[in-house]
Amino acid sequence: MNERPNLSKNINSDQFRDFYYLKQELVSFCRAEKLSTTGGKQELTERIAHYLETGEKKRAIPANKTTIDIGDITKNSIIENNFRCSEKHRAFFKETIGKSFSFNVIFQKWLKSNSGKTYQEAIEVYYQIVEEKKQGLTKIDKQFEYNTYIRDFFADNESKTLEDAIKCWKYKKSIQGHNRYEKKDLKALTQ
């Protein structure tokens, strides 16, 4: 197994993609190379890989932000086009669902892709998502590799501790290859 290389312009994009780097490391590299630092971890990874392959400094494409006055929200209101989570939306959901409400990625994606449906339907979907989360049925997005690893670790090792999971995660991200949990990662606990 190769050792994790320092993130520099002297590595190629394949080497870069074979190892795990924290978002802060990606941002620092972008600053040093005068690349745009905007976007999430996946966007930064793509930008850096492109730069390492071609030397071209890809510019971030700014999101088109328009403010829409949506008026009062009721359960019968229609979810607007170009939905954006706002304090007005948060207040509505907290009032109707309760203080435990919080926007989560899955619910936000549902809202953004279901304009034309009612907020009552959104509330029903929110409860369904919460229930699926409790049962561990939800998919964790790719950029949350740590969360996915920890969940999969515990699914396979119910008697282990969070400290054990973190030790295995640190081992996993230090070696070449993917960052998904595998049974053989447990060797980190005996080292």
CA–CA dist 36, 30 (Å, integer): 6
Count of domains observed in the chain: 3
CA–CA dist 167, 189 (Å, integer): 7
18 lies in the same domain as 50: yes
> Residue 119 CB: number of other CB atoms within 10 A?
19
In tens, the pLDDT along 127-154 reads: 988 888 777 666 666 667 888 888 889 8
End-of-domain residue from the set 135, 159, 181: 135
- Write the Ramachandran bin of 59: left for phi over 0, alpha for psi from -120 to 50, otherwise beta: beta
Residue 67 has a pLDDT of: 58
Band of pLDDT at residue 69, cut at 50, 70 and 90: low
CA–CA dist 59, 50 (Å, integer): 11
Domain coverage including residue 176: 145-189
Tell me, yes or no, whether 93 lies in a domain. yes
In tens, the pLDDT along 24-55 reads: 999 999 999 999 999 888 899 999 999 999 99
